[in-house]
Structure 1
Amino acid sequence: MKFAIAKLIKKHGELYSEQLGIKLQSKKESEIFKWFLAALLFGKRISENISIKTYQEFVKAKITTPEAILRAGRDRLVEILDKGGYVRYDFSTADKLL
Structure 2
Amino acid sequence: MSTQRDRARLLVDKHGRTFAAEASITLRDKPAPLWQLLVLTLLLSTRISSEIALATARELFSASWRTPQHLRESTWQQRVDALGRGGYRRYDESTATRLDEAAALLMDRWSGDLRRLRDEAEADSSRLSSLLQEFTGIGPTGADIFLREAQAVWPQVRPLVDPLVRKGAKAAELPEEARALAELVGEDEFANLASALVRIARDPALLDDLDS
Q: How much is the aligned-residue C-alpha RMSD, in angstroms?
A: 1.9
**Aligned twin of 1:58:** 60
TM-score, normalization by structure 1: 0.83
Aligned length: 93
Q: Kindly indicate which of the two structures has a greater share of residues assigned to helix.
A: 1
From 61, 66, 69, the counterpart of 2:71: 69
Letter of the structure 1 residue corresponding to residue 29 of structure 2: K
- Structure 1 residues 22-37: aligned runs within 5 Å: 22-24=25-27, 26-37=28-39
State how far apart, in whole Å, the 2-side matches of 1:60 and 1:11 are: 28
Q: Is the 8 A contact 1:22 1:35 kept in 2?
A: yes
Q: Is the 8 A contact 1:9 1:15 kept in 2?
A: no
State how far apart, in whole Å, the 2-side matches of 1:73 and 1:35 are: 21
Q: Is the 8 A contact 2:23 2:55 kept in 1?
A: no
State how far apart, in whole Å, the 1-side matches of 2:44 and 2:33 are: 16
Instruction: Report Cα offsets for 1:47-88 as digits up to 9, x if no partner.
Output: 111111111111211112111111112110000001111000
Structure 1: unaligned runs, 5 residues or longer: none
From 16, 21, 35, the counterpart of 1:18: 21
TM-score, normalization by structure 2: 0.41
Structure 2: unaligned runs, 5 residues or longer: 101-212
State how far apart, in whole Å, the 1-side matches of 2:56 and 2:24 are: 14
Q: Which entry has the higher C-alpha Rg, 1 or 2?
A: 2
Higher relative contact order (CA 8 A, sep 6+): 2
